[in-house]
A and B are shown apart, each in its own frame.
Chain A
Amino acid sequence: DIQMTQSPSSLSASVGDRVTITCRASQSISSYLNWYQQRAGKAPKLLIYAASSLQSGVPSRFSGTRSGTDFILTINSLQPEDFATYYCQQSYSTPWTFGQGTKVEIK
């Protein structure tokens, strides 16, 4: 199975901050990487697919980039509704696997 490792596991930030979350794959997955947001008590929501493509309806302050097997989710100007847990997920090969999550908390 491909292991997805996110860092950090949690972070504290303030409204208006720029936040970056990293996801590293245990092997090459090309750009077969998705990012999801999960608010407390809710189902995950797709934010970004194919490493950098913004899902329809997702605010443009969210962006994704790839550098080799490292993937970065950036949230520019953090908003109150962005405090949540973020997961990366690879769909390069089955079994599809998720990172362990990064919780973004209010400072």
Chain B
Amino acid sequence: QVQLQESGPGLVKPSQTLSLTCTVSGGSINSGGYYWSWIRQHPGKGLEWIGYIYYSGDTYYKPSLKSRVTISVDTSKNQFSLKLTSVTAADTAVYYCARARLRSHSMIYSFDPWGQGTLVTVSS
């Protein structure tokens, strides 16, 4: 079965760039019908979808984050990555990668599976 695993620094200084990678195992990131997503959860709060990338490189970013976010894919490594620039304390959160899967009969996308999440703290 497909598994996702986030990796990257747990501490980032204010104004710097947060960089995380999600490694996909048990399946190919090249498989059609999936949008590879980043989602974050501020401490004690709800879930916020950041954006997605298709294996072809097509992306969509949440408008309020669009100016600071880049999601990229490396199909040779079966990985996709998140970069968030000019971070502040408000970007402190657990960051999850997840696969958005299309259900062909209902045409709905749902997140499954998810990575375990990685806490990124923005602090000097």
Contact = CB atoms under 8 A, between A and B. Distances in A.
B46 A95 contact: no
> For chain B, what secondary structure do more than half of its interface residues adopt (helix, strand, loop), or is it mixed?
strand
B111 A89 contact: yes
Q: At the interface, is chain A mostly helix, strand, loop or mixed?
A: loop
Interface stretch (B10-18, B22-30, B114-122): B114-122
B124 interface: no
Interface string B86-124: 000000000010001001001011111011110000000
Contacts of A95: 49, 60, 62-63
Interface string A84-107: 000101010011111111000000
B47 interface: yes
Contacts of A98: 46-49
B106 A87 contact: no
A96 B49 contact: yes
A7 B18 CA distance: 34
